[in-house]
Amino acid sequence: MQIKINNKPYNCESGETIFSICKRNGIRLPTLCAHPDLLPSEGVCRMCLVETNQSKGLVPSCVQKVSEGLEVRTETENVNKARKINLELLWADHAGKCAACLRNGRCELQKLAKEYDIDGFKFVPRRKELKSENELDLLKDNWSHVVADEKNPCIARDSQYCIECRRCVRICREMQTVEAYGTNYRSSNTNVGTPYEIPLDCIFCGQCSAVCPTAAITEKDEIEKFEKALADPQKMVIVQTAPSVRFTFLEEFGMPPGTFGEKKLVAALKALGANKVFDTILGADLTIVEEAAELIKRVKNKGVLPMFTSCCPSWVVYVEKYYPEFIPNLSSCKSPQQMMGALIKTHYAKKEKFDPKNIVSVSIMPCTSKKYEAARSEMKASGRQDVDIVLTIRELARLIRKKKIDPIKLEDGKFDPALGISTGAGMLFGSSGGVMEAALRTAAEKITGEELGRVDFEVVRGEEGIRCAEIEINDLKLRVAVVHEIRNAKKMLEDLKSGKAQYDFVEVMACPNGCIGGGGQPVPTSPEIRSARIKGVIVRDKGMSIRKSHENPVLKKIYKEFLGKPGGDKAEELLHTKYTNRKNIS
């Protein structure tokens, strides 16, 4: 089919919306509620209005489907008038405290306000400056129902920034099926919030903060804690960086998604004053080796199967809260972050003769949920919290900007070698299917005792929500599945329950496409952006000299000197954990 937009012909398929065709062809349309992860759109912001030859008034392009003979005009007088008035209305209902805002310069509302010359207030501003935890009760009774929620360990909400676009409501319901958000009150008091305005009770995945157009929902900001640690001469600040953030870090500084930024990331951390920068990939490799051992043991001893990966804390909490009957299926392995954390404050501290109490262990993550994981009471292999501060890559970038550091101009940095050797397998952790592929590389060699010819398991790569495959290793047949987004995980669990599906090993990541689409990753996010990031990961894995976790020389050394055997007593003590039934407990 062909339609005309602003007098130029464009090809399209029936069923497409005007908005999607414009987007594909680079025709600018403002929106505050439409999002590529939330299709079809609901059309609540009334910003993407256009005029067509087939309807009398203005039509929202994000919901209007194309039809034969359609002619669209995207920039008429009425269109711009509508956008401007609606923007003015929203602007006066918004906090409008840009300078101090976490999203300053990355806010979709601010960007549109600039584009449409909104200066000052046409209408009297409605939101007053109110914030802080102890004011919560007071705020609840405030006529405009401003809610500042700081009780969630990972996500901060401040409704004075909220423009009621409902992306969070939808992503939480449609992608994650958690439904932590809803719409409260009505009319001009309409407020996106939680049921009965209890503190946000969720699985901490942070997808809401990744799609929020303003700063109404953000990661819980811990920059200050980090700065304090850096400024304290008594403290040894040891940073680890997650596999995926090296592929997204430079997006925060204007580079395209998928750009490999490991060296600049390390350099920037050193420039900030971090004493040591280690690579979480070593933790990932440890996870793989331990998990492969656990899987082989479960298969051989007829243990509980399928085994679920446990590196995604949101997935773990989801099982604990909603499907506790599956807790025995969760691998007992800690996540890479926590394995690293445990090693830093035990093995490494001992070796370097540091007092672990002076170590501040910091991790840079693609994830809001890791903040919760680090604070879990089980995560004290060293006797104290193994990881002290978790920063999302967004927070780190904010700090770097605040300190006026331009990472692109910095000289390349290198991980400190003690715990800083990377493998391709660990690199793969960044995207959905990566843990599975890395684990298969190791498991296959452990089972056969022979070296793998081809290390790529393409069958587990891809972007579908649930990908299944049968892998044959000698005479052992493994039925594996790779799942991302909780809606798919829920389906997988239900299929297991009803006997519709049978697996031996399942990888689950709560976020779309895995950590590469994590809730703490740079904004904006979309399927295209995530694809570009994944491409970066795959290319990098191919170029690595060591592609299998168990061949990581640092890892081998640690096992030899300290841990003993995978799955052995010492490893069990430091690298494995337990889970809790959290059903009906909030």
Partner 1 sequence: MEIVTKNWEKINPLDINTYIRSGGYEALRKVIRETPLKVVSEIKRSGLRGRSGAGFPTGEKWEISAKIVADQKFIICNLDESEPGVYKDRIIAEKNPHQIIEGLLIGAYAIGAKRAFIYINGHYKKPAEILKIALEQAREKEFVGRGIMGSSIDVEIEIFSGAGAYICGEENALINSIEGKRGEPRLKPPHPPVSGLFGKPTIVNNAETLANVPYIIKRGADVYSKIGPSLSPGTKLFLLEGAVKNKGIFEVPLGTTAEDLIFNSLYGGGMEDGKEFWFAQIGGASGRLMPRGKLDQLLIYGPSEYPIGAGSILVVDKMADIKDLLFSWADFFHRESCGKCVPCREGTYRLWEIAKWLKNNDLKERDRENIEDILWTLSNTTFCPLGNFAAVAWSDAISMFSEEIFGK
Please identify, using beta-carbon distances, which residue of 9 and 120 lies nearer to partner 1.
120
The type of residue at 184 is N
Report the relative pairing of strands 182-184 and 8-11 from DSSP bridges. Answer: unpaired
Residue 41: CB minimum distance to partner 1, A: 9
Residue 544: CB minimum distance to partner 1, A: 48
* Closest by Cα among 444, 469, 446, 470 to 455: 444
Q: Is 63 in the site for partner 1 (CB under 8 A)?
A: yes
Residue 183: CB minimum distance to partner 1, A: 6
Residue 53: CB minimum distance to partner 1, A: 17
Give the Cα separation of 411 and 239 in Å (integer).
19
From 89-97, 173-181, 267-275, 412-420, give the range in contact with partner 1 by CB under 8 A: 89-97
Choose which of 11, 53, 67, 78 interacts with partner 1 (CB under 8 A). Answer: 78
Choose which of 67, 80, 132, 189 interacts with partner 1 (CB under 8 A). Answer: 189
Report the relative pairing of strands 2-5 and 71-73 from DSSP bridges. Answer: parallel
Q: Is 88 in the site for partner 1 (CB under 8 A)?
A: yes
Bridge partners of 477, per DSSP, are 472
Choose which of 58, 156, 496, 574 interacts with partner 1 (CB under 8 A). Answer: 58
State the catalytic residues: 291, 294, 311, 331, 370, 373, 378, 515
Please identify, using beta-carbon distances, which residue of 196 and 254 lies nearer to partner 1.
196
Q: Is 57 in the site for partner 1 (CB under 8 A)?
A: yes
Spell out, one character per residue from 365 to 404, where the chain touches partner 1: x when CB under 8 A holds, - when not: ----------------------------------------
Residue 125: CB minimum distance to partner 1, A: 12
Spell out, one character per residue from 122 to 141, where the chain touches partner 1: x when CB under 8 A holds, - when not: xxx-x---------------
Beta strands per DSSP E along 282-439: 307-308, 359-365, 389-392
Give the Cα separation of 168 and 180 in Å (integer).
9
Spell out, one character per residue from 158 to 187, where the chain touches partner 1: x when CB under 8 A holds, - when not: -----xx-----------------xx-xxx
Answer yes or no: are the C-beta atoms of 157 and 133 closer than 8 Å.
no
Choose which of 104, 142, 190, 526 interacts with partner 1 (CB under 8 A). Answer: 190
Residue 419: CB minimum distance to partner 1, A: 51
Q: What phi and psi values does residue 464 have, to the nearest 5 degrees?
A: -65, 155
Cα of first residue to Cα of last residue in the chain, in angstroms, is 52
* Closest by Cα among 421, 415, 186, 377 to 286: 421
**Residue whose tokens read 């990581």:** 552
Rg (CA), the chain: 25
Please identify, using beta-carbon distances, which residue of 76 and 385 lies nearer to partner 1.
76
Residue 187: CB minimum distance to partner 1, A: 5
Alpha helices (runs of H) in 180-279, residue ranges in sequence order: 207-211, 223-231, 262-272
Bridge partners of 392, per DSSP, are 365
Please identify, using beta-carbon distances, which residue of 74 and 423 lies nearer to partner 1.
74
Q: What phi and psi values does residue 290 have, to the nearest 5 degrees?
A: -70, -40
Query: Could you tell me the two tokens for 452?
Result: 């793998």
Please identify, using beta-carbon distances, which residue of 120 and 453 lies nearer to partner 1.
120
Beta strands per DSSP E along 127-181: 148-149, 155-158
Spell out, one character per residue from 14 to 53, where the chain touches partner 1: x when CB under 8 A holds, - when not: --------------------------x-xxxxxx-x----
How many CB atoms are located within 10 Å of the residue 524 CB?
16
Please identify, using beta-carbon distances, which residue of 53 and 581 lies nearer to partner 1.
53
From 55-63, 244-252, 503-511, 527-535, give the range in contact with partner 1 by CB under 8 A: 55-63
Query: Could you tell me the two tokens for 101?
Result: 């805002």
* Closest by Cα among 54, 72, 53 to 62: 72
Answer yes or no: are the C-beta atoms of 49 and 60 closer than 8 Å.
yes
Q: How many residues bind partner 1 (CB under 8 A)?
A: 35
Choose which of 67, 75, 81, 561 interacts with partner 1 (CB under 8 A). Answer: 81
Q: What phi and psi values does residue 459 have, to the nearest 5 degrees?
A: -60, -25
Choose which of 6, 76, 86, 385 interacts with partner 1 (CB under 8 A). Answer: 86
The type of residue at 303 is G
Interface contacts to partner 1, rule CB under 8 A: 40, 42-47, 49, 57-58, 63, 78, 81-82, 85-86, 88-90, 92-93, 122-124, 126, 163-164, 182-183, 185-190
